[in-house]
Amino acid sequence: MPVIPTTAVAAGASDTPSPTAVLTRALREGDEAAWREFYAAYSARLLRYLLVVCGGDESAAREALQTTFLRCVRHIRVISTEAELWSWLTVLARSSAVDAVRRDRRYLRFLDRWFQSRIPSPAASIDAEVALETALSFELETLPSAERDLLERKYLDGDAVHVLAESFGTSEKAIESRLTRARQRLKSGILARLRHEQST
C-alpha cells in the first residue's frame, strides 16, 4: 500500500482531516505538486492492477492508465480514507480498460463497412478480421499525429464535428475536409497492405 504524501496539516488540531482528505482536496483545487505526488504514489500500483485486468497486455494497460488519470483530473472529489480512494481508482481503471476494448471494436465495425467487399469471405480466410485489425493498427501509426488524433476523437471517442472544430480552433467545414483526407489516407494504406498480404 503506498504511503500517501501529505501537505500542510495543522498540528495538534482536534479536527485535523485525514491525509487522504488533505491530498484529494489539494487535487481538487488543482495543486500541481499534489498531482505529482499522487501520480508517484499510485501509478505503479494502478499499472499492476491494469496488467491483470488487461490480461498481461502492457500496451493496453498503459493506455488505460493514462485514461484513468485523465478521468481523475475531471472527476476527483474529496475522499476521506485511503481504502475509499483506492476503490474509486480501481473503478475508474477497470472502466478505462473496458472502454478501450469497446472503442477498438467500434472502430473495427466502422472499418468493416468500408471493406466488406474487399475482405475475403470466412470460407476463403478465417483470418480476415485479424488481418484487418493488424493493418489498421499499423496504418494508424503511420498517419501524421494530427490526423490520427482527429480520427480517434471522431470515431473512437465519438466527438461531434462542432466539438472538434472548437477544440482545433477551426470551422466545421475544415474539420470535415480533414476527416475526409484522413479517412482516404487510412483506407488507401489498409487496402494496399491487405492486397499485399493476400498476394503473398
CATH of the domain at 125: 1.10.10.10
Is 54 in the same domain as 137?
Answer: no
Predicted local confidence at residue 200, as pLDDT: 62
Is 3 in the same domain as 94?
Answer: yes
Q: What's the total number of domains in the chain?
A: 2
Name the stretches of the chain with pLDDT < 50.
1, 6-14, 117-126
* pLDDT tens-place string over residues 46-85: 999 988 888 787 877 888 898 899 889 888 999 999 999 9
Predicted local confidence at residue 59, as pLDDT: 78
Is 141 in the same domain as 190?
Answer: yes
Structural domain boundaries, residue 87? 1-7+16-102
Is 88 in the same domain as 175?
Answer: no
| 52 in Cβ contact with 45 (< 8 Å) | no
* Joined grid coordinates for residue 66: 493514462
Backbone angles phi, psi at 62, to 5 degrees: -70, -35
Report the C-alpha gap between 133 and 12 in whole angstroms: 60
Predicted local confidence at residue 24, as pLDDT: 94
